[in-house]
Structure 1
Amino acid sequence: MVSLWYFVVAVGSLGVFAPLAFVHAAWRLRRAALWFYVLGYSLMSFFMTYSLARAGDADNTEIAFGFFWFFGTILLVTVSCVHLALLRKKILYPLPTVWVESGMHCGLFSIDIAGFGQVGRSSEIFVQVRRMLFGLLENAFTGSGIAWEVCLKSDTGDGMIVVVPPQFPKFRLLYPLLAQLAADLARYNVVTAPELRIRVRVAIHAGEVTLDEYGVTGRPKVLLARLLDSRVLRDALAEAPDGSPMVVLVSDRFHEDVQDQGGPGLDTMSYRQVLVNEKETEVRAWLHVPDPVIRVLP
């Protein structure tokens, strides 16, 4: 894997060649500030090498250098590996603004809590429900192999829009994400108080989005909003059994480009075609009610 050699070099050389990994990271990330880290780690590496050379004799001074080299090396290797792990993540998963501004084709996931503003729900309940849903959502994305921390997220008050970087396969927005989220919501609803139970609508699409000073925009985001707010999806949740905490609407383009291509775990038979007619939008989409009893193994 890209830059995995960082850790091999740092640990295998006992920190002596750790600066080489930082040189590579500075070059890949194009950040001038990282060259100061190169200098810092180079100086530490020099002092460790010097201490090891001075520890060759047996008098008290050299023994002190030996202790300095031993504990200093452990600290140098540990700190450099932690630092390199962070830099490696930035190389593999660049910040959202980097890939959104380039207009790349991204996965789009939108979720909304049904009846969030119903009478009887206090502000404290709002906070608890949102915190629980967003926590379960993060777990579902992570369990599906999508790095939550590098997704671009937009809070909508009673839900969230998630823009997924293009390096993640888009089928992961379907499997195992939907099954895990449905199962987690169902288990949560069984043990919680009625006013804290969560039922959600989900819309999934993909397209080329752009980022301006106000956030993500573009036609794909507009269609995502139409799918999420559609009467078809709202009626589906109202008609779903009480034990079903979630209904999903997948755009026709996503269904054709991703689902129809097949893949491990993808189930097309449980999706049915519907017509979405909202405002100026009239499109086909695919409706799905996930089975909440499905359990996803870690």
Structure 2
Amino acid sequence: MNGLLPEPRGPNAPGSAGDEVLMLDTAHCTIIAVDIAGFGQRDPSNANQVRMRHGMYKAIHTAFDAAGIPWSSCRDEDRGDGMLILAAADVRKRPFADLLPNVLAGELAAHNRLHRPRERIRLRLALHAGEVNFDLHGVTGSSINHTCRLLDSDAVKDALGKSPAVLAIISSAWFFEDVIRRNELSRPQAYRRVDVVNKETRTEAWIRLVRPSAARRPQASPRSEQSA
């Protein structure tokens, strides 16, 4: 990890004695939450789950690299059947919407062609941005809660479940209006508005489904090089 995001420290770190707690820092981040659809419903063996997780991580890392998103400027937390990724404020937001989706879908399709049905993966991915609190135990904040509620909403689960897509992207209203709608390369017309009701969260969001047939490795263009 570089210095763009606070370094994680355990409870025995210097300066963490007793009940002195303490928030290490706050930072504005792009927040990406990822989940393997149906991970716990297909009764896969432990070996199958390991292959699915490996496929997810390989696809994410490869897609970030191809989209020009520096992994060294991100912080990730494993969630068992998914992951939470935080990108530092100086990482451009546009590639998450205009380059990443098709590249990631292409990597997922490639994984699925080489694996048995129980080891194939389809992903839900939530996009948001906001202030994140870093403490001795990890990260927290209403923006993270919001992202995870979007990811776990019936709206995106149902959308992916009724589609042959390998990737379902659910964007917060803020991310859609400030990043996606302003950039034609993000294909704002491919998103549809949905209402999300999940626990205390009641909001609108935008969903895009990416099928294997649409998956490709796009070339960066001058417009995508501009800051979001």
Equivalent residue for 2:3, pick from 94, 98, 102: 94
Secondary structure in structure 1 of the residue aligned to 2:189: coil
Selected match of 1:258 from 167, 173, 179:
179
Could you tell me which residue of structure 1 aligns to residue 195 of structure 2? 275
Equivalent residue for 1:138, pick from 45, 61, 66 = 61
Match of 1:163 among 86, 95, 110: 86
What are the superposed Cα offsets for residues 141-178 of structure 1, whole Å, 9 maximum, x if unpaired?
Answer: 11111111331101110000000011111111112111
Match of 2:209 in 1: 289
* Equivalent in 108, 117, 125 of residue 202 of structure 1: 125
Q: Distance in 2 between matches of 1:119 and 1:281?
A: 28
Q: Quick one: which of 32, 36, 42 aligns to 1:109?
A: 32
TM-score, length of structure 2 as denominator length = 0.83
Distance in 1 (alpha carbons) for counterparts of 2:145 and 2:59: 25
Greater share of strand residues, 1 or 2?
Answer: 2
| 1:129 aligned onto 2:49 | no
Percent of aligned positions with the same letter in both sequences?
35
TM-score by length of 1: 0.65
Quote the Cα distance in structure 2 between the aligned partners of 1:95 and 1:223.
23
| SS of the residue 1:269 aligns to | helix
Deviation at 1:229, TM superposition (A): 0.5
SS at match of 2:186: coil
Instruction: Show the 5 A alignment for 1:4-15.
Output: none
CA distance in 2, matches of 1:101, 1:259: 32
Q: Distance in 1 between matches of 2:98 and 2:135?
A: 31
The separation in 1 between residues aligned to 2:186 and 2:42, in whole angstroms, is 39
Amino acid at match of 1:285: A
SS of residue matched to 1:107: strand
1:261 Cα offset (Å): 2.5
Question: CA deviation digits over 1:35-55, x for unaligned, max 9?
Answer: xxxxxxxxxxxxxxxxxxxxx
Supply the RMSD in Å over aligned alpha carbons. 2.0
Partners of 2:43 and 2:26 in 1: CA distance:
43
User: Could you say what secondary structure the match of 1:237 adopts?
Assistant: helix
Query: SS state of the match for residue 69, structure 2?
Result: coil
Number of the residue aligned with 1:248 = 169
Correspondent of 2:147 among 224, 228, 231 = 224
Could you tell me how far apart the structure 1 residues matched to 2:174 and 2:55 are? Answer: 31
More helix by share: 1
Deviation string, structure 1 residues 55-79 (Cα, Å, up to 9, x no partner): xxxxxxxxxxxxxxxxxxxxxxxxx
Larger RCO of the pair (alpha carbons < 8 Å, separation 6+): 2
